[in-house]
Amino acid sequence: MARVEWPIEVVYGAPIPDVRWVRLAPGSSVLDAIRRSGLLDDYPGLDIRARRVGIFGRFAALSDPVKAFDRVEIYAPLPEDPKEGRRRRAAVKSRIPRKCGAGSDAAFRRCVQAVLS
């Protein structure tokens, strides 16, 4: 009898996403898929226990089972807290006077540089 294996997609959300396909036996876990993909060997600094993982955008545990054609995702940490990023952008935007909006792009850049310096 032929051995059944399911195709599973494994994605690492690095700065340049890395996508790999593996074949696993039914009943395999998320961790099995990640190990089989070879991502842990290719990214030695990748600590899988410190990262969030998911299946099709929903958080999952490393012990959760995978099904045929699942997409296992290893999420990269956010480079900046979203709240802090919005606050920082709002603070910069509030310092730019409305008069900077009129005119050419070059005039706008000069106006913004003058305000921010």
Q: What pLDDT score was predicted for residue 107?
A: 75
Q: Which tens digit of pLDDT belongs to each residue from 32-72?
A: 999 999 999 999 888 898 899 999 999 999 999 999 999 99
pTM tops 0.75? no
Structural domain spans, the chain: 6-74, 82-116
pLDDT band at 95 (very low <50, low <70, confident <90, very high): low
Would you give the distance in Å from CA 22 to the centre of its chain? 20
Taking residues 78-88, what's their average pLDDT?
Answer: 83
Indicate the average pLDDT of the chain: 86
Instruction: Answer yes or no: is pLDDT of 9 > 90.
Output: yes
pLDDT band at 98 (very low <50, low <70, confident <90, very high): low
pLDDT band at 100 (very low <50, low <70, confident <90, very high): low
Q: What pLDDT score was predicted for residue 61?
A: 96
Percent of the chain with pLDDT over 90: 49
- Give the closest residue to 56 by CA, choosing from 46, 48, 67, 42: 67
Fold of 6-74: Ubiquitin-like (UB roll) (3.10.20)
Pairing of β 6-12 and β 58-60: unpaired
